[in-house]
Amino acid sequence: MNTNEPKIVAFCCHYCAFAAADLAGVLRLRYPPNVHIIRLPCTGKLDALYILKAFEAGADGVMVAGCLEGSCHFISGNLRAKKRVLAVKSLLPKLGIAPERLEFFNLSSAQGDRFAQIARELTERIKNLSPNPSPQEKGALEGGRR
Amino acid sequence: MSEIMHGAVAVVGGGIGGIQAALDLADSGFYVYLIEEGPAIGGRMAQLDKTFPTNDCAMCMLSPKLVEVGRHPNVQIMTLASVEALEGQPGNFQITLRQRPRYVDITRCIACGRCIASCVYQDAKFPSEFDVGLGKRKPIYIPFPQAVPLAAVVDPQTCIFFKSGRCPQNCLKACERGALDFTQTERVLTLDVGAVIVAPGFEPYDARRVGEYGFGRYANVLTAPQFERLLSASGPTTGKVLRPSDGKAPKKVAFIQCVGSRDLRHQSYCSAVCCMYATKEAIVAKEHDHAIEPTIFYIDLRAYGKGFENLVRRAKEEHGVRYVRSMISQVTEVPETKNLLVCYRDESGSLREEEFDLVVLAVGMRPSAKGQELARKLGIELNEHGFAKTSLFNPVMSTREGVFVTGAFTGPKDIPETVIQASAAAAAVEALLAPARGTRTKAKQYPEEFVSEGTPRIGVFVCHCGSNIAGVVDVKAVAEYAQTLPGVVHAENVLYTCSQDNLKHMKEVIREKQLNRVVVASCTPRNLAALFQDTIREAGLNKFLFEMVNIREQCSWVHSDQPEKATEKAKRLVRMGVAKARELKPLAVQSVKVTPVALVLGGGLSGMVAALTLADSGFETHLVEKSSELGSDLKEIARTPEGEDVQSLRANLLDRVCAHPKIRVRTNTAVKEISGFVGNFSTVLHRGEERIQHGVVIVATEAHEHKPNEYLYGEDGRVLTQRELEAKIERSEAREKTIVMIQCVGRNEQRPYCSRICCAEALQNALALLDQDPDRQVYVLYREMISYGFLEDLYRRARDSGVVFIRYDEQAPPVVRKERDQLFVTVRDARLRQEVLIKPDLVVLSTGVVPDPYNEELSRLLKVPLDAYGFFVEAHIKLRPVDFASHGIFLCGGSHAPGTISELIAKAQAAAGRAAIILSKEQLEAGGIVASVDPEKCTACLTCVRECPFGAVFINELGLAEIEAVKCQGCGICAADCPAKAIQLGQFEDIQELRMLEELFAYEH
């Protein structure tokens, strides 16, 4: 993978963040093509395992985007997801992965511009980090920090 | 009533009210024509950025409804259409419509925008209706990004072709779909319908008519609807608050309230929503740009609805919004800076002047000119304010039988009240047309599903979307790549996957190549997934064996500057989609029989109205009341503030309830136990251990007047509550000369909410006292006068009649004491800043209302939530005001929130209407995208039971978690939380998600 182009996985909830990403398209905004969206019914469905799996498989960054707080279509899913993301974030250093590579966002479906902005900013942020351990290296890390 | 009865209904007006009524009716067996004047449905709500009191995003709530109504098989949306005439009688009306040409065939248009880009007008130069003139559009345009129908429209008023006949018509050539048609002409058509619901909404007051504020003359004076567009991320400034004059960010922003409202030169009534929307806009502005300092200039702050009090407190305390009680005399512009000088008289009477960078006018609601014309054509009467005339006890019935009215057309109101009235109107139509239910609706027949498990045989359809995708992404290469992926037996490019000819082709390919999974790579699944799922179902496939890959909104449209990378991304996305498709499983949808019986808990006003509405619609209803009689909540009320006789209403309801063959009343009866789920509940009553089987529950407990333990109440017979005074007046026993009324008694930290009805009660009693004896002196000591809507006229009448109104501060409540048998009331007049002493003969306390204590037990029995004050919490404060989050359980009455009799009636009818949607179905579909527990892995740790927001998880007889498919909403929270990984959510199973991740990173180009 080209280090200039960090691969980012974006877990987006169907009702808000995914819709915001659609709106970014409708408004013909631009963000780097390295952001790949995986649609979930609700960020509440996001298993902590998915985040770890994404990093293991080679993701350089993971963003999780749910509805605005208080606006979750499933009442509390975004709050659950936020908790899990924060928990995983605190674990990442032990795996040699910078916690800045993982972020949780709240988006309304009308925030197409914010989605594009987040995608751009996260890409920039990750570009400025030292490269993520490759999947092969990770096995040899044994919990050490880079 | 006609002998012929049509099972179709015309809903006129495509705003949130019309949409809600259309969905309710179409979901309960009626065919709906949704008639909209403009080019798209959505109404005013679509233009809002946020909604109070939760500051939820308006479009997030509305857009799924737009899509739902747009795709509903039993709703026909007719845009650019207006009503010409209505003939016939209830059950058998002929409604004549005039439909203007769109010049675009909506069945062909794919909203790609090429026509717009190619228009001879290179720049958009005409004011956009959607952006209230702040943004610009071209003569050909798409009303807004989420519009339904999502198609371009030509405005002949601005189009060069129509104006001069000389236009190269680039748009026509640019359209790859041949969707434009300039030969379209107006058409007139007549439809047979059984009833009509009228929901044309309102018009914001024209701020130009309030000349002293300078709107239209000063660039930086905006109306609130315009400011709302500035706040919207999809608005003309993409959500940045900028001044029109120089594009700079304003610092000081003034909101001026009551523009056009509460003013005899304009409209005498209060517009009911402006205090709250200004509060919302001030907070949101501050959230967008922290440097903004909002000031709200107001007369009375009317925060009277559920949750409103809290929002205002947060505005003040957390966001630093400044509220100034004042009267504005004028706004003038500083020519050099285009800043604005706001000249106002503060409460003490001093004249002040303050400079602002931006002024927002909180314009009121007025009846629209089109609504008035519509009323004429439909033959319905208007009230003195120009809104639809209704009776208080029949709030959604117009003056013409069979024609119902809802929403802001009946008076100023907010979104939830509009939604309540819409559901109430739908319920009224259902009761009227019950025998014709199901006669005009179509149920689609599908072939039997063939067994689709076994080796995946995947078909991939990669869409060009004309040049929308193909212009950026090398779609041929993507399809060729798809062909190489494991499991794919067919891959092809399609010009437009969604076109009718391709859908037919897809079905043929499925049969020919025996596909058992389908992947479509095209636009967003949010709009068209349901269409493709339906198509594969028509070909005999389980509809869940489908995956959609978004390579338009989330690829070609955002990466058009990097076509090669966009192509690579499209390949990766398709690879992920195919990986998921390989793991897809058919999901079963089971049918669950519905018991068409309702249980209504609470036999007050709301319970009786709900029971009658359901029974009139043909459903057997059990009305269960804990106390010894029905309608006891109405017993103490003689009349409404408007003067309507409440006792005859009560008598009438009692007669009808007791005589109705479909209603079974039980008094002195409480509920012991409720089990089951939507469609099939089973309830055991305490009395006789009787068991009732029913399909829905309506909670209809009422709120009660609070009995205070302050101000000598209960100690001195001359201290009464408003209700007690009313009874005394009614008995003609009131002899006292000097009367002091104290508002907001008992409103404190524990009970901070406004009870909404007490100010009107006070006004009513004050006027009645003066009516009996004009020499009396009546004082009303108040915090804010909550005479919203048409009640404002009552407030004005009271002032004119000589009632003395003294405002006190929350921190300095009045004091009542007794000395040598004389009552004394002292109060600090907040306006005069002086202590006032009154020696009254009678002290009357407005004590507000408290919820029924029985709510707590019901909350436990039904597992439905209560708020901090003991009122029930609805599923969604804006769009699902009478539903609980748990399916099949509904709420109305004072147990939901305090309200006037008229409001409670509408709410009860609405709850009945919502419940009737379930009861009208023989069976409910359950299953599909729901979670299920693997009993082998479950350790009964109860995590899922705790975390499910819908109470769908229970512990079964084996002591293991089990999920009630009918209750499950498919969010997947339980699946992600389960420590044993024992729960999987259909269509989003862990293996499916993980495979997608693996394949994304396995891709090498």
If you average pLDDT over residues A11-36, what whole number do you get?
A: 93
Inter-chain CB proximity B1000 and A36 less than 8 Å: yes
Q: Which residues pair with B33 in a beta bridge?
A: B10, B76
Residue B908, H or E segment: helix B901-919
CB contact at 8 A, B530 and B71: yes
What is the radius of gyration, based on Cα positions, of chain B?
Answer: 31
Answer whether residue B973 shows pLDDT above 50: yes
If you average pLDDT over residues A50-74, what whole number do you get?
A: 93
Answer whether residue A10 shows pLDDT above 60: yes
B707-848 has which fold? FAD/NAD(P)-binding domain (3.50.50)
What share of chain A in percent tops pLDDT 70? 88
Going by C-beta distance under 8 Å and a sequence separation of 6 or more, which residues neighbour residue B565?
A33, B559
| Token pair belonging to B862 | 């039904």
Inter-chain CB proximity B233 and A84 less than 8 Å: no
If you average pLDDT over residues B473-477, what whole number do you get?
A: 97
B671 three-state secondary structure? strand
Select the residue of A23, A57, A108 nearest B145 (Cβ to Cβ). Answer: A23
CB < 8 Å to A134, chain B: none
B597-702+852-924: CATH superfamily? FAD/NAD(P)-binding domain (3.50.50.60)
At residue B67 the predicted structure's pLDDT band, cuts being 50, 70 and 90, is confident
Q: Which residues pair with B815 in a beta bridge?
A: B826
If you average pLDDT over residues B131-145, what whole number do you get?
A: 95
Whether residue B54 lies within 8 A of chain A, CB to CB, comes out as yes
Instruction: Report the number of distinct structural domains present in chain A.
Output: 1
Whether residue A16 lies within 8 A of chain B, CB to CB, comes out as yes
Answer whether residue A1 shows pLDDT above 70: no
- Poorest-pLDDT segment among B60-74, B411-425, B703-717: B60-74
Whether residue B325 lies within 8 A of chain A, CB to CB, comes out as no
CA distance A109 to A129: 30
The conformational region for residue B41 under phi > 0 = left, psi -120 to 50 = alpha, else beta, is: beta
pLDDT value at residue A28: 85
Choose between B760 and B927: higher pLDDT.
B760
Our CA-based measurement puts residue A89 at a distance from the nearest CA of chain B, in whole angstroms, of: 17
* Cβ burial B329-345 (10 Å sphere, 16+ → b, else e): eebbbeeeebbbebebe
Task: With CA atoms as reference, report the closest residue to B754 among B769, B766, B767, B743.
Answer: B743
| Token pair belonging to B381 | 């009467």
What secondary structure letter does DSSP report for B303?
A: -
Domain coordinates in residue numbering, chain B = 1-99+186-201+368-445, 101-184, 203-365, 458-585, 597-702+852-924, 707-848, 930-985
Instruction: Give the architecture-level CATH label for domain B203-365.
Output: 3-Layer(bba) Sandwich (3.50)
Task: With CA atoms as reference, report the closest residue to B609 among B579, B638, B636, B634.
Answer: B634
CB < 8 Å to A8, chain B: none
To the question of domain B101-184 being in CATH 2.30.30, the answer is: no
Select the residue of B57, B885, B998 nearest A109 (Cβ to Cβ). Answer: B57
Right CATH for B930-985 from 3.30.70.20, 1.10.8.100, 3.20.20.70, 3.30.200.210 = 3.30.70.20
Q: Which class is domain B1-99+186-201+368-445?
A: alpha beta
At residue B453 the predicted structure's pLDDT band, cuts being 50, 70 and 90, is low
At residue A146 the predicted structure's pLDDT band, cuts being 50, 70 and 90, is very low
Residue B496 identity: Y
Q: Which residues pair with B192 in a beta bridge?
A: B94
Whether residue B996 lies within 8 A of chain A, CB to CB, comes out as yes
What share of chain B in percent tops pLDDT 90? 89
Q: Tell me the pLDDT tens digit for each residue of B672-685.
A: 999 988 999 999 99
Residue B328, H or E segment: strand B322-333
Select the residue of A33, A50, A74 nearest B973 (Cβ to Cβ). Answer: A74
Q: How many CB pairs under 8 A join A and B?
A: 174
B458-585 has which fold? Rossmann fold (3.40.50)
If you average pLDDT over residues B284-292, what whole number do you get?
A: 93
Inter-chain CB proximity B1001 and A57 less than 8 Å: yes
CA distance B639 to B726: 9
At residue A141 the predicted structure's pLDDT band, cuts being 50, 70 and 90, is very low
Query: Which class for B108: exposed (0-12), middle (13-18), buried (19 or more C-beta within 10 A)?
Result: middle
CB contact at 8 A, B518 and B532: yes
Whether A127 is covered by a domain: the verdict is: yes
Chain B nearest-CA residue for A7: B1001
The answer, yes or no, to whether the previous bond of B143 is cis (omega within 30 of 0) is no
Query: Which class for B191: exposed (0-12), middle (13-18), buried (19 or more C-beta within 10 A)?
Result: middle
Inter-chain CB proximity A74 and B239 less than 8 Å: no
Answer whether residue B451 shows pLDDT above 80: no
Give how far Cα B612 sits from Cα of B140, B617, B659, B680, B891, Å: 50, 8, 10, 21, 15
Answer whether residue B3 shows pLDDT above 90: no
Written as one string, the DSSP assignment of A56-95 is: HHT-SEEEEEEPPTT--TTSSHHHHHHHHHHHHHHHGGGG
Residue B192, H or E segment: strand B187-193
Answer whether residue B391 shows pLDDT above 90: yes
Cα B142 from chain centroid (whole Å): 24
CB < 8 Å to A61, chain B: none
Give how far Cα B535 sits from Cα of B107, B512, B528, B925, Å: 17, 15, 11, 19
What is the radius of gyration, based on Cα positions, of chain A?
Answer: 15
Whether A1 is covered by a domain: the verdict is: no
3-state SS string for B379-446? CCCECCCCCECCECCECCECCCCCEEECHHHHCCCCHHHHHHHHHHHHHHHHHHHHHHCCCCCCCCCC
Going by C-beta distance under 8 Å and a sequence separation of 6 or more, which residues neighbour residue B820?
none
pLDDT value at residue A4: 62
B49 three-state secondary structure? coil
* Cβ burial B196-228 (10 Å sphere, 16+ → b, else e): bbbbbbbbbbebeebeebbbeebebbbbbbbbb
Total-model pTM: 0.88
Inter-chain CB proximity B526 and A22 less than 8 Å: yes
CA distance B154 to B179: 12
Chain B nearest-CA residue for A107: B57
- Structural domain of residue A65, as residue ranges? 8-141
Whether A146 is covered by a domain: the verdict is: no
Choose between B855 and B749: higher pLDDT.
B855
Whether A105 is covered by a domain: the verdict is: yes
CB < 8 Å to A76, chain B: 947, 949, 973
Task: Indicate if the alpha-carbon torsion angle B205, B209, B215, B221 is positive or negative.
Answer: negative
| Token pair belonging to A38 | 């995986």
3-state SS string for B968-997? CCCCCHHHHHCCCCCEEECCCCHHHHHHHH
Answer whether residue A142 shows pLDDT above 50: no
Mutation for testing the A interface, residue in B553, B559, B568, B583 having most A CBs under 10 Å: B553
Whether residue A88 lies within 8 A of chain B, CB to CB, comes out as no
Whether A137 is covered by a domain: the verdict is: yes
Average pLDDT, chain B: 95
CATH assignment at residue A74: 3.40.50
Inter-chain CB proximity A27 and B973 less than 8 Å: no
Q: Tell me the pLDDT tens digit for each residue of A92-101.
A: 999 999 999 9
pLDDT value at residue B452: 61
The residue behind tokens 């905004």 is A29
Give how far Cα A123 sits from Cα of A111, A119, B1005, Å: 18, 6, 21
Highest mean pLDDT among A71-75, B110-114, B152-156, B231-235: B152-156
Whether residue A109 lies within 8 A of chain B, CB to CB, comes out as yes
> Do the two domains B203-365 and B597-702+852-924 of this chain adopt the same fold?
yes
pLDDT value at residue B71: 86
CA distance B471 to B557: 10
ipTM for the assembly = 0.94
Chain A nearest-CA residue for B237: A113
Whether residue A10 lies within 8 A of chain B, CB to CB, comes out as no
Select the residue of B60, B554, B1001 nearest A108 (Cβ to Cβ). Answer: B60
Give how far Cα B505 sits from Cα of A122, B467, B496, B509, B574, Å: 42, 21, 11, 6, 21
